[in-house]
A and B are shown apart, each in its own frame.
Chain A
Amino acid sequence: MELETVIGLEVHAQLLTRSKIFCTCTTEFGRAPNESACPICLGMPGVLPVLNRTVVEFAMKLGLAVHATVARSCRFARKNYFYPDLPKGYQISQFEQPLCVGGHIDIQPNGGSKRIGLTRIHMEEDAGKLIHGENLGDPNSSYVDLNRAGIPLVEIVSEPDLSSPEEARAYLLKLKSLLQYLEVCDGNMEEGSLRCDANISLRPKGATALGTKTEIKNMNSFRNVQRALEYEIERQRAILSGGGTIHQETRLWDATQGVTLPMRSKEHAHDYRYFPEPDLVPLVVDEAWIVAVRATIPELPDEKRQRFERDYGLPAYDAEVLTTSRPLADYFETAARRYPKPKVVSNWVMGELLGALNRSGKEIGACPIAPENLAELLQLIDAGTISGKIAKTVFEEMFETSASPRAIVAEKGLTQISDSSAVERVVDEVIAANPEQLMQYRAGRTKLLGFFVGQVMKATHGKANPQLVNDLLREKLR
């Protein structure tokens, strides 16, 4: 029996607000443990939450960007469970009336296009962090740091529309790129600002009813999401093919062993006893607020990609790569405005620039080469001031020092020699100094042209105009 895979993702994204969702503590990352906490986020007796307006606006912004319906009225609810990282014994979340319902995200797996439906987007508070004893003193203890408690999150729940780990990965990457475009989340999975749980099941191909699902947690990178889902599909396939049944449960991905394992804790009697949060009042969203938030939405990746193809005449692949992040797209556009040969700019950005960034572990936002300088470099090549080869040297220097290409060329005397009499003098000298090679060349070993070019370039420290050198050598060697 042929089986097909059904995956739905629940993604938690930390919102880039300055303060927490219900108090005024900072959301700044990397402070000493329990330094960013106050009576409210510590859940002390008597405290009350007050909602951060920017959280609502960020969540609405995301909702509008994915074509969701923003509810005219929504409310918060308490999700009750005990855990040491949850100070109040309940999480303030949304349940019956979330902020956003519906919507979709389009992904382009293997060059095609597929629409992934969204169930809902809601706001909630993050829990604190638990550190296991092995990493901090007593192995028989766990340690609690509540700096993260109360950081605002949105939970984005997809429909079970994903049918492979590749699609799940593409969906996540697309969502990350959207969140970054909107500047509501930094999208960093490794640091936990983007987290993903998956519901996964198999069913006979063509069936409409869903099979029994498992929930996979603890996948903390894009690659791990794909690996964990691949593993889980095979695990379920093996059970079903052997006539077994899937046990509905939560499983944790173990990246070291490369397997999913059932949770061992006894904490899984899930009866969250949701009820409307009495400490927060309902939220009413009117048209004017929606309009105001919509106005803050920038051009999104899909629109930008299409525009890059259309307006710059870029191949689909280039447009896709250049629009994965807003700073990269902006970089390209700034450079392309100064140097209006988009494909040349695209080649340099996707080749040299992304390569250098990758090697140095830098983000585009921290790129040492200003886009204006990249454009100037390309202009220098066109003007014949430097050769393409010298340009790569200049590029490296620019990446090192952030200096302008003109300054580097001037300082290092890298201006190309295009004066034919000057080049001719060097060509003559080189030929005179290598009589043996000259004889061989004239005897038919025309491959030695390269040797002569090399000698001339060496003598001119690479600055001779290569075309001119070639032309002169061909003429004089004959």
Chain B
Amino acid sequence: MPRIYIHPLPVRIWHWVNAAGFVVMILTAIQIRYVGLIDVISFRTAVLVHNYTGLVLIANFFVWLGFYLFSDRIRAYLPEINPRKHFIGSFRQMYFYGYGIFKGEPNPFHLSIYRKFNPLQSMTYQVVLMLLVPIQFYTGLLMWDAKHFASQIDFFGGIRVIDTVHVLIFCALVFYLLVHVYLGTLGHTRLAHFKAMFSGYEDVEEEEAPAVTAAATGPHPTSERPRNPVTAA
């Protein structure tokens, strides 16, 4: 099965540091918020681990941001500005996941180096990585040293407001993570996408017949040459 080098090393490092970090953050967050109900580690240890892991994740975020800002692969994150195209693509992707996938229909989305997210992924990652995660980092940073950032906390309405936003996004990210992991199992094998995230190479099948128009799904892998194509059979 042909393979395409879709996940460069910095992205893979960022991804797995992020994944491990977010698991730690979620677990320590649960320990912090529900101390007394859950007492696996001490509250203080949980807070310290949460704080330092958060700082690592913030630094890691800039690894991701820096890589994409200085790479032409940032095109993968550029939003589809045509709402009609985006809606049609999203609808077809939802249909595929909800029914077509069980019928054995081909995925309407075609993977390429510059187009590695289907419309649903694209929308989700833009919201998660460019809105929720930065806000989560920012609110976490404010609470990490609330006295130092007191003026900013007051500007946004006080520590309780900041924490509530932090918790709301926490809930959203917990939901996202569970769904993200499950969708990761929907490759041609259960572990295909997970392996790809380690190796960098995604398996792609030879295309038999395009299921949807290129306009709705993005350019065909072979229709757009990467500046530094790295593919392997």
Partners in one complex: no
